[in-house]
Structures are given as C-alpha cells and as structure tokens.
Structure 1
Amino acid sequence: MADIDFDTLIDRRGTMCSKWDDVQALFGIDDPDALAMWVADMDFKAPDAVRRALEETVAHGIYGYPGQNLPYLDAIRWWMAERHGWQIQRDDILSAHGLVNGTALAIDACTRPGDGVILMTPVYHAFARVIRAAGREVVELPLALTDGQYEMDWDAWASRLTGRERMLILCSPHNPGGRVWTVEELRRVAAFCRERDLVLVSDEIHHDLVLPGAPAHTPTAVAAPDFADRLVTLTAATKTFNIAGAHIGNAIITDPALRDRYKGRLMALGISPGLFGLPMVTAAYSPEGAEWVDALRTYVGKNARIFDDGLARIPGAKSMKLQSTYLAWVDFSGMGLSAEDLHRRIEGQARIAANHGESFGLGGECWMRFNLATPSARVHEAVARLRDAFKDLQ
C-alpha cells in the first residue's frame, strides 16, 4: 500500500464543499484565511481503494439502477466481525441515505406525533432537529460532568421523564464529548429502555474512530445481546472514510418484527441506496481500508495532543480528553465570557468556524466543538489564533 498522506493541504473551496464554502454564510467570516473546523467531515482524501472503486464505476459509463448488492452486504458483515466482534447476517442490514435519514426513519417507524424521544445532552444537534421536525417532543437528560468526562446521571434523570417517551437515541461513541461508553453503561441503557418500554436507537457512526490508548468501543448489540427486540443500530462508513457525500448508511436490526417496521417505512418512502455509494463502501470495508483507518486514528491522536497542549496555555479554556471521534469539545466557561463574546473572539478575531456548544442542547453552553481531522499545520495555526484571540485575558 502506498504511503498514507494526511499532511498535504488541500484547497476545498469552490468544490461545492459545505465545510469551507459555507463559512461566510453560516458564521459571517468574510476572510480567505478563515479556518473551517465545524461540520464533521475530514480534509483528507478517501483511501485509494475507495477512489479506485469509484473510478471503475464511472469508467463503465452506464449509471442505471443498482441491483445485486451482496458484495456490499458481505463487506459490512466482514467489517463488523473483524473490527467490532459483531456477527450479523445479510438480512439484518437495511440501507438509508445516511444516518440523519436513518435516525428520522427510526423515529417515523417506532413513534407517533406527540411522543417523547430522549436525548442525553449535550449531543449531536441533528437528532433534536429531526425529532422536532417529525412532531415529536425532545426530552433532554443532561449528562453529568465528572472529572472532565461525561457520565450518565441516572439518579437525576427519573424526575425529568414525562411518561410520553417511546424512544431513546444513544450516541455511541459520544458526539461531541468523544466518550467511549463502557459495556456496563451500555447494559444499563438497555435495562433503562426495557423498564420503560422504549425503543433504543444506537448511533455508532464514530465507532471506527477510537483513538490509540482509549478504551475499545463495544457495539450495544454485543453488550446487550438479549435486547434485540427493541434495538436499532445505525452505522456507516461515511465518517470513517470521509465519504459523507455518498449519502449511504445502515440500520442493522436483528429482530425480524422490528426490522419489518423499519423496512416498511423505507418502502413507503421509496428509499434505496444510490449506485456510487455501494462500491465505495465495499472497497472501504477491506484490509486496505482498515490499514488506512489505523493510520488515521494515530494521526488524529497526534492532532488532539497538539490542540490540547495549546488550549492548556489559555487560562479558562479546557479541552475534554478525547477518546473517540476527531471532534475536540472545549469548555470556555472558565473565562467568564458570554456566548456572544466567545463567538465574536473565535469567529471575528481568530477567524475560525467552529460549532456553537448551545446547539448540542443542555450542558453545551459556553462550549465549542472543533474538527481536528485536518493537516496538523492547520491545527497548529488554529491554536496560535486562539491564543492570540484571548491574549488580553491571560
């Protein structure tokens, strides 16, 4: 395999790239030197295997309806067994147009308008968006912050439930905190859902991105094997291999009755995978893809150390210890600044576009999320700009 290059700076502006081309419209940063560190896609080229597979598909010249997809299904099965110790069957796998779509389908299939859907906040902001758009109620259970890491706050949560809840959406590993949940925690989540007759949607899109030295990720289905009758697991190759534009992801459901409910919504809405995503994922879920991911994890771990060391020199700022994902979650509350002043300094002075913490729900106030899946030179530059933006407080 050729050397894997994550250091080359690639100009993505003008390529219909939301991450870079939407910075001015979304953050008001009108500067050609702005750094895009918000939405969760990487500034790295996809693995060579993925590009070769896509080039072969394009070279064929006929782009009709995709049909037989057994290599795709078997690649997913191989990856889950090889990388996650999870044995699944072809029939367990249903394809959606990415995992936001996959989440929305689960809400549509398993709840009704007016039902409550539980989120452990702060958490990925798209969950709340699709819940509300579907006419369901967002029920926020704030995570506890203990010794710089998130924990599930079971004792505090009981009083926040309304009795209308029908689903819990778990982010595992957690986004934005990067926490890898333990087997014991996952089993307790399953028991919590069983006791309250909840369907559990386990979004595991970041499961391949556990950093070296961090605890291993365990699929919820492996941690709680007796919970299959109410478990929908969402996975995708898109975050792992930087192919989110393929708009393809999976709902893995081993219980036949629950799977039929989900499949019914796919059929009713006419949703099926597109031609180009199938060969890309098939090529990614391979030994060559695994080698690329392992190199990526090491590189992101290095970027996280660069970023954390830099933030440690800014009084009042603290980056949460990253176990998984490539998303740094930074607490600026120690500075005593308002959210508006915080955003003004980061966007106006540092010229960095990063996600606002309040968009992730309760507990996200005065936090910011920074995407570290970019060449290390940009991470060094971001740290320097942040230190300069807050130098008057030091």
Structure 2
Amino acid sequence: MTFDFDRIIDRRNTHSSKWDGMAAALGVTAHDALPLWVAEMDFSAPPAVQQALQAEIDRGTYGYYTGDHTWREAMSAWLARRHQWQPDPDWITPTPGIVAALGLALQAFSEENDHVVVFSPAYHAFGKIIAANNRRIHNQPMINEQGRYRMDFDGLAKSMPADAKVVFFCSPHNPGGRVWDAEEIRQLCEFCIERDLLLISDEIHADLVYSGCRHRVTADVVPEIARRLITLSGATKTFNLAGTHVGGAIISDPEIRKRFRAMAARSGLLSFSTLGMIATETAQRHGDAWLDALLPYLEANRDYLAAEIVKAVPGARPMHLEATYLAWIDFSAIGMPRKDFMAAIRDRARLGVSPGPQFGPGGEDWIRVNFATPRSNLELAITRLSETFC
C-alpha cells in the first residue's frame, strides 16, 4: 500500500491549534502564513484508523467506553514489535495524554514547592505543568558538545536542590532530537537511584527515530530502576492523533502504580473518549506499514531542511536530529538580535515557528521548526526565509 504524504490538506477554520491558533499565539494568521510550530503532522492518519472511526460514527451511538484491556494489549504488543520491550498490559494505565500524566505524577509523588529536575532546553509543557501544580522547576543546562546535547550529571550533583523528588526525562529529546544511548540512560538511572528520585521517562517520540539510531527504552536498559520509574508512551505523536488526548503510563512497580491510579481516580481522569481509544488502539494494531512509509519521508524532509536553511539564512546552524520531526536551529550567529529575527520570520517570511526561549535556558537564540508537512510547504518556507534573510 502507498501513502500520499505530499497531499495538501486545508486545515484552516477547523479548530486546529496548529493552524487556527497561530494568530493568538504567534501573531500571524493561517490566511497567508505557514505554521511550522505545534508538534503535530499535516498528514492524514493511517487509513485503518480512519476506517475504524468511520465505522463507529456510522453506528450512530456515542456512549461511554469500557474494556480497555484490548487497548492495553495493543500498546504492549506495539512496544514489543517496535522496541523489543513487552510490558505486562496490567502495568499500563490509560491517561488523557502525556501532559496530564505528568501532572498526576507530580500530585502523587511530590509536594507543593518541591523542585522538579529538567534537563534544559526541554519540552515547554514540562515547565508549564510544573508551575501549574505549584512545584518549582530546576533547570539543569545540557552541554552542547559538537552539535549534540549531553546531560551534565556532575553539574546536577552540585546544583540540585535538596527538596527535588522528581526528574522529567525526554527520550528521545525534544527539542534537539537526541536519541540517548544505553550508557547515558544508565548514568541517569544510577543518579536517580542514588538520590532517591522518581524518574518520569517521556518516550512519546520513541517511534520517530531515523536510520542509524535506535531508541532504548529506559525500563529495558536499567531494569532495577523499576521501583522509581514511570514510562509515558502512546500512539498520538506517531500517528498524528494528538487531538484524541490518549496516552499511557507504564508502571511495573505495584506501589507506584497504585498511587498513580489513585490520583487519577481522585481527579476523575480514568474515563476516556470512545473514539480516542478506538483510534489509538487501531493505530498500534494496524499502523506499521504507514509508519514504515512515513519515516523515510520525514528523514528526507529533515535532510532537505538542514541543507537548505544554512543557505536561506546565512549563519543558521541546525542541530543534527536523530529523532522527532522538530528541527532545532541556532540563530545566534546570523548577526541579528532575537527580537529582530523573530519579527522578520513572523512579519516578512510569514512563518509560524516555536521561539527557543519557551524551552528554557539554552534556547534563547534558537527556533524550533516542525517539518512534518508536505515537502512543498518546506520548499515554500525556505523560499520565504531566503527572500527575508539573503
């Protein structure tokens, strides 16, 4: 079966956060601007997912959902098939997305005003959910070593507050696209064990890894971390299903799992959309061929953007991505202050990109660009950038 990732889908005026939310968030409208910011794709979901949803819609009844054992079995089988790690389905708790799971973990395993460790720059929702739960973020800057980030454990050992109880770990990393190797994961787990920290491993981008790299599941690399580990996973990023708001928290330790589920029950977050559960289960049961076709397309887009951005914007330096469809590009050497280059991207190039500062310390002169879009959109973006900066 072939899949058409070049097809342009008009997403304007569809309540799309990526397209219709640009005006409020970035000051540009989808009428004449191109959104390259929110981490979702401009591609149709797999045909099997569309067919399953259509069958449910045609039935005409939209009642409550039950029987999530098949959903949990599908996630377990997917992880075994794609990552050679098969968690017991009973370890998996469905959640209303990854960010909601982060919030539940904070509420269950930390107190107000406690510090939460984040390796920065990092996924901007980390900081937002930490602040929303009245916890304090401890940003530990990563080291940019020849265009690749690495975690600074020596620095963290010196700087970490005594009241830190939780570490948020993005694997693969967003932004920056690092696929952490087994030794790096082992060092992080040993750090958490030695200092009695709960590790939350956000692995939502695990399926979006490029040739030459392999995602290593934290729980599989260091089995002894199980007593202090929550792994977050799901189908939404992989299959462009973010609007379903369905994710999974995988917890092998019975006590941690009990506390997490109790907090979810207390918060009324153990009930899920029927359509969302059907979509994500179907994707993980029948989406392999679609993903296998998507990855080379994304990799080609990655390579095109990396090669062309340095011509279109003299001085721009893209970080080499090993995973994700989110390019991380350093604008510090283009000879223009951040305020000015962001205004130029917005007002002259008419592009919506994610500003680096929202990802925390280390992102000040960077931008994040989503290239999960038809190639013609990327070509248009490069043309506009070249006309703006050359």
Per the alignment, residue 320 of structure 1 pairs with 319
Query: 1:262 corresponds to which letter in structure 2?
Result: F
Task: Verify: 1:345 aligned to 2:310, yes or no.
Answer: no
Per the alignment, residue 244 of structure 1 pairs with 242
User: 291, 298, 301: which one pairs with 1:300?
Assistant: 298
User: 231, 245, 248: which one pairs with 1:233?
Assistant: 231
Instruction: Give matches, 1:1-394, under 5 Å.
Output: 1=1, 3-30=2-29, 32-213=31-212, 215-271=213-269, 272-286=271-285, 288-313=286-311, 314-391=313-390
In 1: Cα distance, 2:155 partner to 2:89 partner:
40
In 2: Cα distance, 1:244 partner to 1:146 partner:
32
In 2: Cα distance, 1:316 partner to 1:156 partner:
30
How much has 1:31 moved relative to structure 2? 6.3
Contact 2:122 2:173 in 1 (8 A): yes
In 1: Cα distance, 2:268 partner to 2:141 partner:
36
In 2: Cα distance, 1:279 partner to 1:103 partner:
23
Contact 1:342 1:366 in 2 (8 A): no
How much has 1:185 moved relative to structure 2? 0.5
In 1: Cα distance, 2:342 partner to 2:160 partner:
33
Contact 1:97 1:249 in 2 (8 A): yes
Contact 1:117 1:137 in 2 (8 A): yes
When the two chains are superposed, the root-mean-square deviation of aligned CA atoms in Å is: 1.0
In 1: Cα distance, 2:282 partner to 2:184 partner:
33
- Aligned-residue sequence identity (percent) comes to 43
Q: State the Cα deviation string for residues 264-301 of structure 1 (Å, max 9, x = none).
A: 11110111222111111111112x40111111111010
Query: Kindly tell me: are residues 247 and 30 of structure 1, through their superposed partners in 2, closer, same or farther at Cα, counting changes over 3 Å?
Result: closer
Contact 2:19 2:30 in 1 (8 A): no
In 2: Cα distance, 1:298 partner to 1:73 partner:
28
Count of aligned pairs: 388
Query: Kindly tell me: are residues 293 and 124 of structure 1, through their superposed partners in 2, closer, same or farther at Cα, counting changes over 3 Å?
Result: same
Structure 2: state its 5+ residue gaps. Answer: none
Contact 1:178 1:322 in 2 (8 A): yes
The 3-state SS of whatever aligns with 2:167 is strand
Contact 2:12 2:30 in 1 (8 A): no
How much has 1:51 moved relative to structure 2? 0.6
Q: State the Cα deviation string for residues 297-346 of structure 1 (Å, max 9, x = none).
A: 11010101110111121321011111100000000001232221111111
The 3-state SS of whatever aligns with 1:276 is helix
How much has 1:30 moved relative to structure 2? 4.3
In 2: Cα distance, 1:113 partner to 1:70 partner:
34
In 2: Cα distance, 1:30 partner to 1:297 partner:
29
In 1: Cα distance, 2:164 partner to 2:69 partner:
37
Q: State the Cα deviation string for residues 165-208 of structure 1 (Å, max 9, x = none).
A: 00000000000101000011111111111111100000000000
